[in-house]
Structure formats: C-alpha cells, structure tokens
A and B are shown apart, each in its own frame.
Chain A
Amino acid sequence: MKVTTHDQRAQIASRLRAAREAAGLSQGQVAKLMGFHRPTISEMEAGRRRVSAEEITKLAEIYGVSVEWAMSKQSDKKDPVDEKISLAARELSKMKDTDLERLMSLIRMLRKSERKK
C-alpha cells in the first residue's frame, strides 16, 4: 500500500514537471503564480512533498492541462486520445514517428472536460 502511494506521488510529480515544461514556465515563474517559494515547486516535482487536490487543480489550470491527466496512474502512452478531439495536420505524413509520439503526448495532456475560465 505504501509503495503504491509512493509510486502515485512520483507519477504525479513527473506529470507536473512535464506539464510545466510544456507550458513554458520555470519553477520560479510557477511559484510566483501560485504564491509559493520556488523550492516548494521543486519539492512537488521531486515527489518529496504531497500535492493537495486543490493545488493540482490550480497547477493544471496554470499549465492548461487536464486534472484527470495529471492524476492518472497509467503510463502516458496508454492514455487514450479524447475521442471528442479531432485534428487537422497537413504534414502528418512527413512527421517522424518520434515527433508524432511527442505531439500526441502533448495533446493527451491538454484540458478536456474542465470548464474554461
């Protein structure tokens, strides 16, 4: 049980870091937006500090990602692409497989069901 909680925290931590980087923000910038000290964000992303549901919601909003994605326990590749989403991409045929996978990882993390501000 303890191991599961630890793993889950590590998973959330890693997703929060990925979402922050995809949002183009530094830990310092996020800390300023959240009203925290910079080390607090660093501790969250290292999985050394518990992140409350309220904090995850606020971070997801700042990063423009789905709370559901941020809290998901499964590996990123198993996350389904929201079936409500359709894509228009003219040069998909020219994209390298690795680039396509990175793109789909970004699309999987984007906000889905939350109401926009």
Chain B
Amino acid sequence: MSFDKKILAREAIAKALQTRRMAGYAMWYPVCVYDLAEKIGVEVRFFDIPSMEGVYSSGENPTIIISSLRPSGRQAFTGAHELGHHVFGHGAQYDELVEQRSEARRFDPNEFQVDSFAGALLMPKVAVDRGFALHGWDIATCSPEAYYTVATWLGVGYSTLIHHMQYAMQVIKPQRADELLRQILMVTRSNLLGKECREHLVVADNHWAGRAVDIQVSDLVLLPPGARIEGKCAVICEQNGTNTVAQGITPGIGRVVVDDLGWSTFIRVMRKQYSGRGKYRFEEEVNDVE
C-alpha cells in the first residue's frame, strides 16, 4: 500500500492546530505539551526506562509514558508524538505489538503522521516566525545562538527546530541547515553565557511570553538584566550589566520578575530526570523529619 506523505502531513497539521485550539492555546505562543495533554484528559507519566522514548496507552485512562532519561526538548517532542497517537486513535493490542517486534522495519504511515503532528503542535509556523521576528532576526543570516534561543522558547531541541524549518516549513535550505547543525551545542551555550556551559541552558529574555520557563534542577536560565526570582525553586547565581543567570535548585514553582521592564513569567523546576506522574513534577519536597 502506498501513502501520500503530503496528505498525511496536511491532516496532521490540521489536527495539531485543532488540538491547540480545543485546549485554548494561541497559535503564536509555545505550548507545554504535558499541560496540554492533561487539559484534554490524557495522563502524562515519566518513567526511567533507558531503551524507550515513549509509549501511548489508550483505554478509559489514556496515558502517555515518556522516558525520563532524555533531554527535555526530546521529551517534549516525544510527548507531542504520543499525544498524536491519542488524537488519531492509534494503537494495537499488546500481543499484536509483541508479534510485530520481530518484523522488519518499514515505512509506518501512523508514525510519520504523528511526527508531523508533533512538529506542528510544538512549532506552528506562526509561532516560529514570531520567535525570530520579535528579536528582529533574519532566519537566513542569524546566528546559531538565535536559533537556540527560539528553540528553548518553543521547548524543543535545537536540531529539532532546524529540521522542522528545513523539512516541514521548508524555509531554510539544506546548506544553511547543515551549517547550523555543525555548531556544537556546548559551544552555542557557552557563547550565550560568555563562559563554558555544560548544563542545559534556557534563554528567557524579555520577549519570552506564552508559557512558563520549565527547567530541571541544575539547569541554567539566561534572564534579562535586573531579573529577580520570587520563590525558592531557583536562585540567581550571576548578575552583571548584560545578563542575569539563574539556576534551578529544588522542585517547585516561582516567578521571574524584571521590575524595570514590567516583565514577569513563571518558572517551574522539576527534579533531574524526574520519574513519576506529570501532575506532580513540580511538587515541592516535604521535610520528612517525623
């Protein structure tokens, strides 16, 4: 049987936009896919299984299970991919899946379609364009650091955004994509921070809007100058004339405020490689002293 990839992709984009609309998310803002899933009645769980990216389990309590051992951008894409299986009503009985385990891999239209769905859900064209336009960046000439900034705003990986813009949106040429992908991620982060950076770094400048800054304990956030944190989940670890750097220190929810700019956003911190129900991922630690 042959499948028209264009038709599958078109259906996936329509479904992604419909899902966003249904959950009340504007097209020009990023989404937290886990919040969106819970909003439409799908439970999210993180689970520390090394050889799995994610699974969708249907039934009366539809659930998506995501490996807690992957980088956050990849987890978000997997979450959106599994949510795609839910909205398209995909799934097979466990026994059938086990039988298929030994079958040779071939093009799977369902998998292609939910990948397209995930791309459109997390990176709608309007949101991607807006991410660059707000900063005054031209996608043909701007730096890898600019792409990285937009990727962290959208909550996806750097290479995921570039591939999406190359293949799905078709707004950057293969040569440009190759150039951008050649830069090592650690170099990009270090350039943004002005010193070596081995931790995951989120860039939340004063154009950040539409969703909370979600990080894991020990992740860094590059904030506008003069930013302060309300709450105990993150602390300012560096402050100078051009940058403020914050770090997640304990699970919880707080707020980042820049008084001079009248700008603020929520910051949510989860445990490193958190394994558990999505709804408890920012649950504060409780002092266990009896």
Contacts and interface: CB of A to CB of B under 8 A. Distances in A.
A88 B286 contact: no
Nearest to B93: A86
Contacts of A26: 285-286, 288
A29 B290 contact: no
A90 B78 CA distance: 11
Interface string B264-283: 00000001001111001101
Contacts of A112: 59-61
Contact of B94 (A27, A95, A99, A104): A104
Nearest to B55: A89
B102 interface: yes
Given A26-B288, A106-B45, A116-B61, A88 B82 contact: yes
A10 to B, nearest CB: 23
Contacts, number: 140
A21 B21 CA distance: 35
A107 B111 contact: no
Contacts of B91: 86-88
Interface in A79-103: 81-96, 99, 102-103
Interface residues of A, number: 43
B283 A91 contact: no
Interface stretch (B46-54, B166-174, B198-206): B46-54
Interface in B28-85: 41, 43, 45-47, 49-61, 63, 65, 81-82, 85
B60 A38 contact: no
Contact of A93 (B65, B101, B110): B101
Nearest to A106: B47
Nearest to A32: B286
A58 interface: no
A31 interface: yes
Given A82-B59, A88-B56, A25 B287 contact: no
A24 B52 contact: no
Contacts of A63: 277
Interface of B: 41, 43, 45-47, 49-61, 63, 65, 81-82, 85, 90-94, 97-98, 100-103, 105, 108, 110-111, 114, 271, 274-277, 280-281, 283, 285-288, 290
10 contacts: A24-B274, A29-B285, A29-B286, A37-B290, A38-B286, A93-B103, A95-B51, A99-B49, A102-B47, A106-B47
